[in-house]
């Protein structure tokens, strides 16, 4: 009985040592890969930082309004954020490739899914960046048009344009990521529909006087105002 | 040849049948049926009277008029003029018309006129604005003669203006052009002008025609490029043109047609204007400056002031990227003043305009947005110009404009510094 227990223990120990001996080189290889991966990710970060500085990415982001948005959320500058993101993605990617060397059952599938998800993640990031650019441009265009047409609240109009484009962009990015697709679509539809309905009701009921004044000004007093402008013809 | 791509086949056929000419008169039209018949008749009258021995063609580049403008140009009969005025011509006066494209563009029409002038080897070519209802027969002579007889390369007009007419020209285009090139071109956006065969062949393939600036404001581009290239320029006094004819659709359109091309031209001819300015003398036939103070002024000054104040406040984030912090604070201070104390000084105006030019050069944002952002500032400046000169005599008004020009010239080193400096924040 005692002999049997000792023999089994010995067998278990020898299996453990064999398995450990089998795993140890893979673990070492993974650690080396992780270390090399860190170096590669760091070099990538440095290179990307120089490239972004060269193409004046921060200025572009500032013009798009992304910098102000990130600083409001106490986040670093867009170029720094992108560099950090690339660093972590590269390192985690290489680390996961290293982990796959450990040959742990079931892990391969999840690692594969992670790599397959990366293009969608980058597409979503690109969408958000384009959305920020577009929102900055169109908000400024609306502001300038509003100011030069002497509209009552050009800043409000500009902010409305910016918010609408950002909401649209975020919903598109979430859809690309495949996160809560139905919720996002339903939420977007409700918000957008409510906004439009609210504006229609507000203009129809609350802004009757304004609408009347606007139409009267357009239809009857337009000629007089133009005369004032024509007396001061710029050319 | 550059003309191959610019001139449509039907026009090319018409030009070939005309053959070489001495003088070409170009008209760019789009739905100008109300005025074009009179304009063509007066041009013909002038040509028959002053150039009876020359081979002449009148060419109309039309933007697809639907009111029969090209037919009116073609139908304007030479015999009517002869019968009415007993003029005799020794040559045939050809009159041709062609559509330049589906999209209405003065620049495209102008390029076609330049290409036709080059192809026909015209020694002189005059461009006449189709809406010039106050045109006189001697305009053709005043524009063409300096090129045809005296070998000038470019003839710019001088018009008799009402004192508050063309404030954008008197307060921005003229002083800035003079500060840049040291030449007193009174009308840097001429409705009428003339040019030589040398200038036509140089400009027919110019990059301006492919740019937004050349499409929207070809008159400004041609004038400034002629200055930058050192062509021999002469001014010729034409008389009154009439205010309505020069009116742009609105202020922003006017800015796009003038300030946009001005800033673009500065960029295109970078080396030409950064040199120290010469004395601003220019050969002018007739008076170099004629301002009329007749008639009452009916301007909504309160609205101008209100639009400057609200515009400066609302556009703070936009102006912050265009002008310096000092200029912005001065603008904001001005915007906080009531009408009685408000003043947009010459210095502030010159500085702001130069900072806008620099922002355009550095593309701190969409260039069209930069041009649009100038509108509230122009309104503030126009308010000051009108209130300060409501009751002054024409000579005193001339002195005020001269003083503004000197301020622009004084600030030129600041412009050069801004222009060559790296963009703010880089």
Chain A residues touching B310 at Cβ < 8 A? 147, 150
**Torsion angles phi and psi, residue B198, rounded to 5:** -60, -45
Q: What is the ipTM of this complex?
A: 0.86
Nearest residue to B344 (alpha-carbon basis) of B293, B300, B380: B380
Contact check, Cβ <8 Å, A230/B425? no
Asked, for residue A80, whether it belongs to a domain, the answer is: yes
State the pLDDT at residue B83.
53
Residue numbers of B between 302 and 321 with CB closer than 8 Å to A: 303-304, 307, 310-311, 314-315, 317-318, 321
Residue B25's beta-bridge partner residues? B58, B126
Per residue in A143-184, pLDDT (tens digit) is 999 999 988 889 999 999 998 899 889 888 988 888 877 787
Residue A205 tokens, joined: 């009921």
Per residue in B106-150, pLDDT (tens digit) is 999 999 999 999 999 999 999 999 988 889 999 999 999 999 999
Domain boundaries, chain B: 3-292, 301-420
Chain B residues touching A137 at Cβ < 8 A? 366
Contact check, Cβ <8 Å, B246/A230? no
Chain A residues touching B304 at Cβ < 8 A? 232
Q: Are strands B23-29 and B56-62 parallel, antiparallel or unpaired?
A: parallel
Task: Give the nearest chain B residue to A145 (CA atoms).
Answer: B372
Q: Does residue A221 surpass a pLDDT of 80?
A: no
Per residue in A10-43, pLDDT (tens digit) is 999 999 998 888 888 888 888 899 999 999 999 9
Chain B residues touching A62 at Cβ < 8 A? 425
Chain A residues touching B165 at Cβ < 8 A? 233
B3-292: CATH homologous superfamily?
Answer: Spore Coat Polysaccharide Biosynthesis Protein SpsA; Chain A (3.90.550.10)
Chain B residues touching A235 at Cβ < 8 A? 166, 168-169, 189, 246-248, 254, 257-258
State the pLDDT at residue A176.
87
User: Nearest Cβ partner of B252 from A56, A148, A232?
Assistant: A148
Domain that holds residue A61: 22-104
Residue A15 tokens, joined: 């299996």
A·B CB contacts under 8 A:
90
Cα-only R_g, chain B: 22
Q: Does residue B69 surpass a pLDDT of 80?
A: yes
Termini Cα distance of chain A: 113
Lowest mean pLDDT among B128-132, B241-245, B385-389: B241-245
Contact check, Cβ <8 Å, B164/A231? yes
Q: Does residue B91 surpass a pLDDT of 70?
A: no
Q: At what angle do helices B301-314 and B325-335 cross, to 10 degrees?
A: 140
Chain B residues touching A227 at Cβ < 8 A? 298
Q: How far apart are CA A118 and CA A97, in angstroms?
A: 14
State the pLDDT at residue B1.
47
Residue B109's beta-bridge partner residues? none
State the pLDDT at residue A230.
46
Task: Give the nearest chain A residue to B314 (CA atoms).
Answer: A155
Coil, strand, or helix at residue B28? strand
B86: left (phi over 0), alpha (psi -120 to 50) or beta: left
Number of residues in chain A = 235
Coil, strand, or helix at residue B158? strand
Q: Number of C-alpha atoms within 13 angstroms, CB side, residue A52?
A: 20
Chain B residues touching A230 at Cβ < 8 A? 243-244, 247
Contact check, Cβ <8 Å, A235/B311? no
**Torsion angles phi and psi, residue B291, rounded to 5:** -120, 130
Q: Does residue A217 surpass a pLDDT of 80?
A: no
Q: Does residue A231 surpass a pLDDT of 80?
A: no
Contact check, Cβ <8 Å, A148/B376? yes
Nearest residue to B200 (alpha-carbon basis) of B222, B230, B227, B232: B222
Residue B250 tokens, joined: 């609105």
Longest dimension (CA), chain B: 70
Residue B233's beta-bridge partner residues? B154
Would you give the DSSP letter of residue B127? E
Nearest residue to B76 (alpha-carbon basis) of B61, B93, B88: B93
Q: How far apart are CA A117 and CA A98, in angstroms?
A: 18
State the pLDDT at residue B168.
94
Element at B96 (helix H, strand E) = strand B93-99
State the pLDDT at residue B165.
87
Per residue in B317-376, pLDDT (tens digit) is 999 999 999 999 999 999 999 999 999 999 999 999 999 999 999 988 899 999 999 999
Number of residues in chain B = 426
The H helix count followed by the E strand count for chain A is: 9, 0
Tally the domains of chain A.
Answer: 1
Residue to substitute from B188, B220, B249, B251, interface A, most A β-carbons within 10 A: B251
Chain B residues touching A144 at Cβ < 8 A? 315, 318, 369, 372-373
Q: How far apart are CA B309 and CA B286, in angstroms?
A: 41
State the pLDDT at residue B423.
64
Nearest residue to B195 (alpha-carbon basis) of B157, B245, B238, B242: B157
User: Nearest Cβ partner of B189 from A140, A230, A235?
Assistant: A235
Quick one: CA dihedral B307, B309, B310, B314, positive or negative? positive
State the pLDDT at residue A75.
75
* Chain A: closest CA distance from residue B423 (Å): 10
Per residue in B156-205, pLDDT (tens digit) is 999 998 888 889 999 999 999 999 999 999 999 999 999 999 999 999 99
Q: At what angle do helices B174-181 and B251-268 cross, to 10 degrees?
A: 0
Asked, for residue A46, whether it belongs to a domain, the answer is: yes
Would you give the DSSP letter of residue B150? T
* Chain A: closest CA distance from residue B306 (Å): 9
Q: What percent of chain B has pLDDT over 90?
A: 62
Please tell me which residue, B81 or A93, carries the higher pLDDT value.
A93
* Chain B: closest CA distance from residue A124 (Å): 25
Residue numbers of B between 151 and 170 with CB closer than 8 Å to A: 164-169
User: Nearest Cβ partner of B375 from A148, A155, A232?
Assistant: A148
Q: Does residue A53 surpass a pLDDT of 50?
A: yes
Average pLDDT of the residues of chain A: 83
State the pLDDT at residue B426.
45
Contact check, Cβ <8 Å, A146/B314? yes
Taking residue B167's Cβ as centre, other Cβ atoms within 10 Å add up to 20
Average pLDDT of the residues of chain B: 88
* Chain B: closest CA distance from residue A232 (Å): 6
Coil, strand, or helix at residue A98? helix
State the pLDDT at residue B351.
97
Q: Does residue B385 surpass a pLDDT of 60?
A: yes
**Torsion angles phi and psi, residue B358, rounded to 5:** -65, -40
Contact check, Cβ <8 Å, B314/A56? no
Which residue has 């062609």 as its token pair? Answer: B98
State the pLDDT at residue B280.
62
Contact check, Cβ <8 Å, A144/B318? yes
Chain B residues touching A56 at Cβ < 8 A? 426
Q: How far apart are CA A204 and CA A233, in angstroms?
A: 36
Q: How far apart are CA B420 and CA A199, in angstroms?
A: 48
Q: How far apart are CA B139 and CA B145, in angstroms?
A: 10
**Torsion angles phi and psi, residue B276, rounded to 5:** -60, 140
State the pLDDT at residue B104.
84
Per residue in B3-18, pLDDT (tens digit) is 557 888 889 999 998 8
Which residue has 């040398």 as its token pair? Answer: B198
Q: How far apart are CA B311 and CA A152, in angstroms?
A: 11
pLDDT band at B288 (very low <50, low <70, confident <90, very high): confident
State the pLDDT at residue B386.
93
The H helix count followed by the E strand count for chain B is: 21, 9
Asked, for residue A35, whether it belongs to a domain, the answer is: yes
The reported pTM is: 0.82
Lowest mean pLDDT among A206-210, B131-135, B379-383: A206-210
Q: How far apart are CA B336 and CA B309, in angstroms?
A: 7
Cβ within 8 Å of residue B277, ≥6 positions away? B178, B179, B180, B181, B182, B409, B412
Q: Does residue B246 surpass a pLDDT of 70?
A: no
Nearest-5° Cα angle at B145, B143 to B147: 85
């Amino acid at each position: 009985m005692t002999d049997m227990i000792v023999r089994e223990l010995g067998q278990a120990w020898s299996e453990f040592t064999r398995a450990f001996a089998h795993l140890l080189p893979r673990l070492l290889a993974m650690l080396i890969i992780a270390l090399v991966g860190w170096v590669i990710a760091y070099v990538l970060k440095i290179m990307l930082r120089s490239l972004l500085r060269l193409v004046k990415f921060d200025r572009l982001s500032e013009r798009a309004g992304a910098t102000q948005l990130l600083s409001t959320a106490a986040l670093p500058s867009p170029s720094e954020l992108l560099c950090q993101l690339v660093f972590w993605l590269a390192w985690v990617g290489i680390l996961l490739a290293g982990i796959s060397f450990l040959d742990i059952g079931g892990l391969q599938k999840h690692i594969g899914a992670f790599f397959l998800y990366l293009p969608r993640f980058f597409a979503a990031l690109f969408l958000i960046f384009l959305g920020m650019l577009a929102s900055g441009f169109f908000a400024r265009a609306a502001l300038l048009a509003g100011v030069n047409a002497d509209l009552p609240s050009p800043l409000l109009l500009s902010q409305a344009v910016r918010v609408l484009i950002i909401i649209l962009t975020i919903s598109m990015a979430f859809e690309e990521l495949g996160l809560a697709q139905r919720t996002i679509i339903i939420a977007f539809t409700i918000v957008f529909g409510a906004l439009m309905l609210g504006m229609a009701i507000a203009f129809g009921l609350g802004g009757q006087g304004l609408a009347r004044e606007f139409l009267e000004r357009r239809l009857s007093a337009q000629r007089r105002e133009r005369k004032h402008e024509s007396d001061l013809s710029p050319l | 040849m550059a003309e191959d791509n610019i001139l449509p086949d039907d026009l090319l056929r018409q030009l070939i049948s005309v053959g070489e000419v001495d003088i070409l008169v170009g008209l760019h039209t789009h739905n100008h049926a109300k005025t074009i018949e009179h304009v063509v008749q007066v041009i013909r009258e002038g040509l028959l009277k002053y150039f009876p021995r020359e081979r002449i063609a009148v060419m109309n580049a039309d933007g697809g008029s639907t009111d029969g403008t090209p037919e009116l140009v073609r139908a304007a009969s030479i015999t009517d003029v002869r019968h009415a005025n007993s003029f005799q011509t020794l040559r045939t006066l050809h009159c041709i018309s062609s559509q330049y494209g589906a999209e209405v563009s003065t620049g495209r029409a102008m390029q076609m006129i330049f290409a036709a002038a080059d192809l026909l080897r015209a020694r002189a070519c005059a461009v006449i604005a189709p809406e010039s209802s106050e045109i006189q027969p001697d305009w053709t002579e005043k524009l063409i003669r300096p090129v045809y007889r005296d070998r000038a390369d470019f003839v710019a007009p001088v018009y008799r203006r009402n004192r508050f007419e063309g404030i954008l020209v008197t307060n921005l285009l003229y002083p800035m052009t003079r500060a840049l090139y040291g030449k007193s071109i009174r009308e840097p956006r001429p409705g009428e002008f003339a040019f030589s065969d040398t200038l036509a062949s140089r400009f027919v393939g110019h990059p301006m025609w492919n740019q937004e600036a050349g499409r929207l404001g070809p008159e400004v581009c041609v004038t400034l490029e002629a200055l930058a290239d050192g062509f021999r320029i002469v001014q010729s006094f034409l008389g009154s043109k009439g205010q309505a004819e020069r009116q742009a659709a609105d202020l922003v359109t006017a800015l796009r047609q003038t300030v946009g091309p001005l800033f673009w031209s500065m960029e295109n001819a970078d080396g030409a204007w950064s040199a120290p300015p010469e004395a601003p003398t220019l050969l002018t036939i007739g008076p170099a400056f004629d301002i009329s103070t007749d008639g009452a002024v009916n301007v909504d000054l309160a609205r101008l002031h209100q639009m400057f104040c609200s515009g400066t406040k609302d556009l703070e984030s936009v102006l912050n990227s265009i002008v310096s912090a000092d200029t912005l604070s001065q603008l904001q201070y001005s915007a906080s003043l009531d009408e009685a104390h408000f003043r947009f000084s010459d210095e502030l105006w010159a500085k702001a305009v130069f900072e806008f030019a620099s922002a355009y050069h550095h593309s701190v944002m969409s260039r069209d947005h930069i041009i649009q952002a100038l509108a509230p500032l122009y309104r503030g400046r126009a308010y000051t110009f009108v209130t300060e000169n409501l009751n002054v005599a024409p000579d005193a008004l001339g002195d005020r404009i001269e003083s503004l020009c000197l301020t622009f010239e004084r600030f030129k080193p600041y412009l050069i510094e801004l222009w060559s400096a790296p963009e703010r924040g880089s």
